[in-house]
Structures are given as C-alpha cells and as structure tokens.
C-alpha cells in the first residue's frame, strides 16, 4: 500500500474549491434538497464519487450526505430548531447522530437505543433545539466504523447570538482515508480484526474538506475563524499553524479563554473540534501552510495563498477574538457526586482473558468470535444494564482508568463534561468537552451534571474500538 507521504509526494496538487462555510440558507438550494412544506430539510446519504485524491487522480467512490464529503454544513442560530428529514439512499440501515449537542434523547440517533435504524429508502424526522453555540458535527451512528469511513459526516454550526467579528468563517474538516493502490477506498480491510484489536483503522491519505492539500485564497490582513475537526475513524491528528498567527477560542464547540497557538501542536483526537482564529500576514503569492504534525513526517494539510487583493487591514488586530461561554451548562459540584468507575481493558497486548456479556462470562476465544475484544469494567460491548443510573440533576464523576496499550477518545452523548483530575492530580478550570483522549496507562476523572434525561451512550470514538466492545451507557432520570 502506498504511504500517504509517497502518495502526496508524487501527485501534483491543485485544488481551489471554495472552502467557505456557507450558511444553511445559502446552501439550502444546492446542497440540501428543497425544504419540504413542513420546513424539514432533506438530508440524503447516498453513494457518490468525490475528488478526494486530488487533480489527475480518479474520483473515489464514497458514501456522502447529498453525495458530498463532507456533507453539507448545517447551520442554525443558537436556540433555533433544526429540522432534518433523513432519507436513506444507502443499501444499509442508517441513522444520524448530532455529536456534541445537548439534544433531547429521542433525537440522538443511536439505533437500538433511541430509535430504530432507518431502512434503505425510508425516512426519519429529526427535530431538535441546539442550546449551545459552537462547532459540532453530525455523522452516521449505524455501522459507524464503515459508514463514517466511507464519508458520512458533516459540520453542524450553531451561531452565537452575537457572532464574534471575523472576516470569514472557514471549515477545516480533516479526514484520514485508507486508499488502495487503485486509488479507491480500501474496502477489503473494512472490519479487519487487526485494526479492531489495535489502534483502529488508520488511513494513508489526508484530506481537508474532502480535498487533498487544498489551496485557500486569502487576503493580507484577513482574520479567519477556522472550524477544525478530526473526522478520522481512529487517527489522532495534530496540527501546526506554522507562521500563521493563530489563537484557539473553542474546544469541542465550547469557548475557552483565547490562547496563542502560533507554532504550537494542536492535538485533535477523533471527533474533537477546535475553533482557531488565524490572522493572515504576508505578501501576494505567499503560501502559508497548516501542517499535520502527529508523525515524524509533517504533511501540508492545507495552504493559504495570499492573493493580490489589497489588504483587508494594514495590521493584524491586536485583540484576540473572545467568545462568551455557553452559560447554560451547569457547573458540577463534586461534593456528594455520584462516583462511577470505568476501567478499560483488552485489545492487543492487553492480556484480556475473559469478558462478561449480560452476566455471562465468556473466554477470550468466545469474545474474539464475536469480535468483542475490549471491556469496560470487565464487560464487553453493550449490556442490557446501563453502566449507571443517575438521578436527574445530580453531578456524576467518572474515573476512567486506561489499562490498555492504546489511547482512547472517550465521548459522552447529550452532556458536556470537564476533566477534574489526571493521573491523581487535580485539574482546575479544564475546558468543557464532549470527547476526551485518555492515554495508555492514564487515569482521567471527568465531572458533569446529569441534567439531560434519557439513555446516553458513553464510548470510545475510535470507531473500531466502539464496535469491538468499548461502549456503555448511562441512564439519567
Ligand atoms: Cu460522534 Cu456516539 O458519537
Ligand atoms: Cu478506543
């Protein structure tokens, strides 16, 4: 298989598609099939081709919402109702999950838990209010390890009541594809046990907004809000903004005090987001790269090309952009909190010998036959019983202990949490998150207020790991 470095080195890269984040309404006509009379936008996942690999390479067969990858940007004002009619144009059942939204449980899109999977040709209506502003995403939650790998995801942007002043808002949706020698998605390896028991499906081809090293024309003096997300199945990425003046303003959609990240490595585990404001400085013709730097070989992920247009402003603004916090998220009070343990075990080099499924102990051989090779508290995969029942409004503290040889990106549905302790040391004022990376042999305590009633998944967002057992749920109220 070609490595993405070889692949990238040998391809002439030119792609200049517009990467502007369009508004819902601006894109409604072309991207979302016309809204129906009842105000629902039709979102249709279906097979299509996409120019992932760049100019001069054959288009790649993908599955995409509206036939594009990423899918259309769904955008709404904070507090507004979002209405989406999923129309399944695939040959498999599917659902849509609205990742990071404190949604009502019936709309969470988890097949077998909050709804039935939507059969091919059938529809399902999602209608919900997005209570918090920020950068979120939506993706398939059925056979996620295959459907997301094939391209079923898109950005979901909830605008602040008063959006901060920037000149442009640009998507930066990074994905990691596994392409075969023929330049097509490597299908034979989908579901490969080797990936499920190790670090998950790793790609060899990096795209940003579904393009290979896209060039984004920019003007000197421009201030741009980048909506960065890692949509890879399993690869934790890290980005460097190089010479671009950059500051971080939000993580997983939630505002953080502005932090200078110029020349800093910004790590994004699968499903994590970061809003970064970049100030463009330079002369016409300059190319400013954002690079992927998680490995020893940095890869240019996207290029900002300074155009001849007159500068937007003479000097970069010296005030960083600051976002107001989403104040509706209640602060956890850890005194009297419900304490929950979550011990992660299994996987390759994990020495797992057995695991429980609904009270029955299975040997590792029996588990492997079921493709369940990871456990939470000794239990492999979804159980009839939840991890924990939490009364509505009570604070919960989950103590995650990773006893495996791999990092895991733990995601809680329907809530935002804060890390309060790492490896035994208290952590103060950690950012709100919906996905947190727990390194091998690491211990991480998170706290949240269980204020959203329903059945909420808690799982690893490395999609092969969740499929192979790293999944549980809490029940609130
Ligand atoms: Cu983004 Cu249950 O996942
Ligand atoms: Cu994992």
The CATH number assigned to the domain holding 178 equals 2.60.40.420
pLDDT in tens, 186-238: 999 999 999 999 999 999 999 999 999 999 999 999 999 999 999 999 999 99
On whether residue 12 sits in a domain, the answer given is no
Clarify whether residues 99 and 134 are in a common domain.
Answer: yes
Look at ligand 1, atom 3, and give the residue with the nearest C-alpha: 99
Tokens 């040889």 sit on residue: 405
pLDDT at residue 17, rounded to an integer: 31
Clarify whether residues 198 and 137 are in a common domain.
Answer: no
User: Is the pLDDT reported for residue 91 higher than 80?
Assistant: yes
pLDDT at residue 38, rounded to an integer: 72
Query: What mean pLDDT value characterizes the chain?
Result: 91
Cα–Cα distance between 443 and 438 in angstroms, integer?
7
Domain of 176 in residue numbering reads as 168-306
- Position in ligand 1 atom list of the atom nearest CA 457: 2
pLDDT in tens, 132-175: 999 999 999 999 999 999 999 999 999 999 999 999 999 999 99
pLDDT at residue 130, rounded to an integer: 92
Clarify whether residues 148 and 184 are in a common domain.
Answer: no
Cα–Cα distance between 33 and 43 in angstroms, integer?
7
User: Is the pLDDT reported for residue 471 higher than 70?
Assistant: yes
Q: Which residues pair with 255 in a beta bridge?
A: 250
Cα–Cα distance between 377 and 312 in angstroms, integer?
56
Distance 466 CA to ligand 2 centre (A): 7
Cβ neighbour number for residue 330 with a 10 Å cutoff: 14
pLDDT at residue 346, rounded to an integer: 97
Angle at the Cα of 473 (from 472 to 477), degrees rounded to 5?
165
Distance 75 CA to ligand 1 centre (A): 19
pLDDT in tens, 263-286: 899 999 999 999 999 999 999 999
On whether residue 47 sits in a domain, the answer given is yes
Clarify whether residues 61 and 155 are in a common domain.
Answer: yes
* CB distance 418 to ligand 1 below 6 Å: no
On whether residue 8 sits in a domain, the answer given is no
In the sheet with 96-99, reading across from the earlier edge strand, the strands are 74-77, 153-159, 134-140, 96-99
Instruction: Please compute the mean of the pLDDT values over residues 395-405 and round it to a whole number.
Output: 97
Instruction: Give residue 439's pLDDT band: very low, low, confident or very high (50, 70, 90).
Output: very high
Look at ligand 1, atom 1, and give the residue with the nearest C-alpha: 99
Domain boundary among 159, 182, 199: 159
Report the DSSP pairing between strands 74-77 and 45-50.
unpaired
Clarify whether residues 33 and 110 are in a common domain.
Answer: yes
pLDDT at residue 37, rounded to an integer: 63
- Position in ligand 1 atom list of the atom nearest CA 459: 2
Cα–Cα distance between 95 and 116 in angstroms, integer?
8
Cα–Cα distance between 412 and 188 in angstroms, integer?
31
Clarify whether residues 178 and 45 are in a common domain.
Answer: no
On whether residue 299 sits in a domain, the answer given is yes
Clarify whether residues 154 and 172 are in a common domain.
Answer: no
pLDDT at residue 315, rounded to an integer: 79
* Secondary structure (H, E, C), the chain: CCCHHHHHHHCCCCCCCCCECCCHHHHHCCCCECCCCCCCEEECEEEEEECCCCCCCCCEEEEEECCECCCCCEEEECCCEEEEEEECCCCCCECEEEECCCCCHHHCCCECCCECCECCCCEEEEEEECCCCEEEEEEECCCHHHHCCCCCEEEEEEECCCCCCCCEEEEEEEEEECECCCCCECCCCCCCHHHHHCCCCCCCEEEECCECCCEEEECCCCEEEEEEEECCCCCCEEEECCCCEEEEEEECCEEEEEEECCCCEEEECCCCEEEEEEECCCCCCCEEEEEECCCCCCEEEEEEEECCCCCCCCCCCCCCCCCCCCCCCCCCCCCCCEEEEEEEEECCCCCCCEEEECCEEEEHHHHHHCCCCEEECCECCCCCCCCEEECCCCEEEEEEEECCCCCEEEEECCCCEEEEEECCEECCCCCEECEEEECCCCEEEEEEECCCCEEEEEEECCHHHHHCCCEEEEEEC
Domain boundary among 132, 159, 186: 159
User: Is the pLDDT reported for residue 437 higher than 80?
Assistant: yes
- Position in ligand 1 atom list of the atom nearest CA 435: 1
Cα–Cα distance between 436 and 367 in angstroms, integer?
27
- Position in ligand 1 atom list of the atom nearest CA 100: 1
On whether residue 322 sits in a domain, the answer given is no
Clarify whether residues 194 and 293 are in a common domain.
Answer: yes
Instruction: Give residue 1's pLDDT band: very low, low, confident or very high (50, 70, 90).
Output: very low
Q: Which two tokens stand for residue 336?
A: 């009297």
Cα–Cα distance between 287 and 8 in angstroms, integer?
17
Instruction: Give residue 351's pLDDT band: very low, low, confident or very high (50, 70, 90).
Output: confident
Number of domains forming the structure of the chain: 3
pLDDT at residue 328, rounded to an integer: 74
User: Is the pLDDT reported for residue 317 higher than 90?
Assistant: no
Distance 461 CA to ligand 2 centre (A): 6
Domain boundary among 159, 182, 198: 159
Q: Which of 318, 202, 226 is nearest to 277 (CA)?
A: 226
* CB distance 273 to ligand 1 below 6 Å: no
Clarify whether residues 176 and 146 are in a common domain.
Answer: no
On whether residue 311 sits in a domain, the answer given is no
Closest ligand to C-alpha of residue 405 is: 2
Clarify whether residues 395 and 446 are in a common domain.
Answer: yes
Clarify whether residues 22 and 154 are in a common domain.
Answer: yes
Clarify whether residues 152 and 187 are in a common domain.
Answer: no
On whether residue 317 sits in a domain, the answer given is no
Cα–Cα distance between 157 and 138 in angstroms, integer?
10
On whether residue 247 sits in a domain, the answer given is yes
Distance 382 CA to ligand 2 centre (A): 15
């Amino acid at each position: 298989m070609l490595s993405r470095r070889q692949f990238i080195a040998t391809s002439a890269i030119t792609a200049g598609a517009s990467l502007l984040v369009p508004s819902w309404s601006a894109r409604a006509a072309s991207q979302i099939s016309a809204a129906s009379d009842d105000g629902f936008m039709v979102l249709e996942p279906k097979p299509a081709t996409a120019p992932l690999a760049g100019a001069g390479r054959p288009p790649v067969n993908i599955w995409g919402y509206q036939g594009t990858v990423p899918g259309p940007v769904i955008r709404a004002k904070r507090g507004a109702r979002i209405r989406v009619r999923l129309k399944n144009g695939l040959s498999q059942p599917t659902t849509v999950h609205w990742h990071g939204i404190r949604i009502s449980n019936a709309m969470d899109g988890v097949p077998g838990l909050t709804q039935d999977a939507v059969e091919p040709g059938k529809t399902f209506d999602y209608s919900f209010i997005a209570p918090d502003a920020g950068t979120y995403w939506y993706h398939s939650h059925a056979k996620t390890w295959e459907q997301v790998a094939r391209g079923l995801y898109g950005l979901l942007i909830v605008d602040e009541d008063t959006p901060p002043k920037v000149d442009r808002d640009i998507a930066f949706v990074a994905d990691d594809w596994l392409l075969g020698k023929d330049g097509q998605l490597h299908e034979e390896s989908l579901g490969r046990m080797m990936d499920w028991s190790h670090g998950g499906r790793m790609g060899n081809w990096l795209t940003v907004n579904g393009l290979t090293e896209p060039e984004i024309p920019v003007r000197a003096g421009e201030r741009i809000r980048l909506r960065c997300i890692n949509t890879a199945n399993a690869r934790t990425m890290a980005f460097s903004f190089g010479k671009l003046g950059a500051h971080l303003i939000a993580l997983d959609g939630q505002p953080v005090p502005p932090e200078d990240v110029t020349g800093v490595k910004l790590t994004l585990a699968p499903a994590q987001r970061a809003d970064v404001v970049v100030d463009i400085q330079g002369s016409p013709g300059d190319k400013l790269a954002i690079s992927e730097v998680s490995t020893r070989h940095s890869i240019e992920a996207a290029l900002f090309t300074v155009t001849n247009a007159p500068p937007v402003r003479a000097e970069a603004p010296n005030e960083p952009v600051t976002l107001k916090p989403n104040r509706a998220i209640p602060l956890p009070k850890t005194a009297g909190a419900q304490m929950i343990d979550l011990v992660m075990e299994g996987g390759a080099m994990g020495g797992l010998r057995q695991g429980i499924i609904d009270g029955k102990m299975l040997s590792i051989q029996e588990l492997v036959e079921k493709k369940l090779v990871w456990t939470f508290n000794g239990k492999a995969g979804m159980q009839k019983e939840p991890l924990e029942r939490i009364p509505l409004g009570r604070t919960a503290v989950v103590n995650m202990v990773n006893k495996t040889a791999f990092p895991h990106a733990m995601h809680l549905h329907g809530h935002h949490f804060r890390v309060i302790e790492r490896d035994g040391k208290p952590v103060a004022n950690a950012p709100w998150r919906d996905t947190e990376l727990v390194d091998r042999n690491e211990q991480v305590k998170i706290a949240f207020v269980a204020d959203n009633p329903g059945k909420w998944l808690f799982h690893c967002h490395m999609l092969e790991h969740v499929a192979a057992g790293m999944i549980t749920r809490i029940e609130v109220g």
